[in-house]
Amino acid sequence: MKRSIKPNNGLESIGPYSPGLQVGPLVFVSGQLPVDPKTNKLVEGDIRKQAAQVFENMEDVLKASNMSLRQVVKTTVLLQDMNDFSQVNQVYAIYFSPPYPARVCYEVSALPMGASIEVECIAYDTTDQDLQLDIDEDDCGGDCGDDEA
């Protein structure tokens, strides 16, 4: 069964799509733009400020399904200018922590509303113990990201 997810911040989709869609333990968050939910306009400022707004909007969609950025397993980042890549990475590292989600990043010629960045994600609901992923150390060559000093 699938369920549409709308964030509680009042931000509306700019087209005929759900901000998020839950299907079983997975939540698919549609591409988030750097839109201020109070004004429904793009935030002003550099790419770092825009990226931060994107992740705040993404987090709001996830919260509406009782999830968080910690449960994100995959992101797709769209940039209008690949020269923004390193600055976006700095902001990304503030919102996500190891083990980081799998990710792909593309440069595109244009984004909706003239935005410089758009990010979509897939999150996995870990609240159902029967659906928890069991990671065997052998599955990741003994390096599953839990390095101890």
Give the residue numbers marked as catalytic: 105
Question: Helices (DSSP H) in the chain: which residue ranges?
Answer: 47-63, 85-95
| 34 vs 116: CA distance, rounded Å | 8
Query: 40-75 burial string, b = 16+ CB within 10 Å, else e?
Result: eebbeeebeebbbbbbbbbbbbbebbebebebbeeb
Is 104:78 a contact under the CB 8 Å cutoff?
no
- DSSP code, position 36: E
Q: How far apart are CA 83 and CA 14, in angstroms?
A: 27
Give the Å distances, CA to CA, from 144 to 74, 139, 140.
17, 8, 6
